[in-house]
Amino acid sequence: MKKTDVGRDLLTIIYLLTLFMVISFYFGSGSLADFTGKLYALYPSEEIVRNMQDLILLAASEGSLGITRNGEPFEAVVVTYVYKSIPIIITAFALAIPLGIAKGIFDYRKKNTVTGIGQGLTSFITALPDFFLILSLQWIILFHFRFIDWFGSEQWYNFILPSLLVALYPLMYLARVTSAALSNEDGAMYIRTARAMGLTEKLVIKKHILKKCKAAIIQHIPAVTTYILSNLLMVEWLLDYKGAAWRLLYAIQRSNDLKHNEMGLAVELSICFMVILFISQSLSILLQQKHLTEKPNPAIQILRMIFRYFLISIFICLLFVLISMTPKI
């Protein structure tokens, strides 16, 4: 593990501990013991452990985390709704990666030229909150193209608009990353040599600079996937597209329903999104191997990542157990 990773993890732990101390000081009237006592009274640890055990035993004995009010296993629901979201995720990813890199190259080439669609536009869009950006674009499209049935998920083309909305922010993010990576190579000896040999700027970028920057760009694939999944939650909810993210939010809303609790469904859908992130990170690790001078062992990196995702899955289960519990007031 790199020293930078260790330092980052330590800073994260220190930040979380400091945040917990500040919250406990505020809500505990300056006493940590008073705060922990109130927290234990609201959420008894025995009940949390019992609910976690019930969740694990249910999965082990029944092979399922529950059924819906219609008697349908959660796993069948997950397959149905994830199948609807996959076209959006794949389309958004296919748009964001190549177009983001192309936009970044354009921004780099036109960085000293006022075009109106160069770095200024990229910086402006990435500075906007993604929720505001998606909501504004949705309003514009629906106002000027109201003759098309954009809402819902019944028509075959209903995934097109969500894909475009989901892809825009990660596209601009990757464009900014690409432009910055290319700019960092400015002034290098190999670039000046290539230009002195009479190569065109297009060839210099394609054959030399971009080749040098591929590893720096590829390592941002997981971040692009994270933006896609986070935007998917908003877009599916706003457009009433009944995909996996829409069903996840609906399941969370019903987590306190005693008769038809869908906590297990929320856990399964969250793990599906986590698997997508795991695939993107694994892809990033494997693709970087071709372009790194110091090649770390990809198997060790992936095993370390599997362990982290295992801990995250436990945290997800614990989170939804807490959400479904009624505080003992």
Cα–Cα distance, 86 to 88 (Å, whole number): 5
Name the token pair of 216.
């720096």
Query: Which residues, at least 6 apart from 259, have a Cβ–Cβ distance to it below 8 Å?
Result: 69
**Exposed / middle / buried, residue 75 (Cβ in 10 Å: 0-12, 13-18, 19+):** middle
Nearest of 231, 108, 83 to residue 171 by alpha carbon: 231
Pick 65 or 160 by higher pLDDT.
160
pLDDT tens-digit series, residues 161-185: 888 888 888 998 998 888 888 888 7
- Residue ranges of domains in the chain: 1-42, 43-324
CA R_g for the chain: 24
Question: Smallest Cα–Cα separation from 163: which of 55, 171, 125?
Answer: 171
Output the pTM of the full model.
0.77
Q: Is the pLDDT of residue 106 over 60?
A: yes
* Percentage of the chain lying above the pLDDT 70 cut: 74
Q: What's the confidence (pLDDT) of residue 325?
A: 63
Residue 29 pLDDT exceeds 70:
no
> What is the DSSP annotation of 225-287?
HHHHHHHHHHHHHHTT--SHHHHHHHHHHTTT-SSS--HHHHHHHHHHHHHHHHHHHHHHHHH
Domain 43-324 has CATH 3.40.50.12160: no
Residue 78 burial (CB count, 10 A): 19
- Give tens-digit pLDDT for 268-302: 888 899 999 999 999 888 888 876 767 777 888 88
Q: Contact at 8 Å (CB) between 292 and 230?
A: no
Please tell me the distance from the alpha carbon of residue 170 to that of residue 230, in angstroms, as a whole number.
10
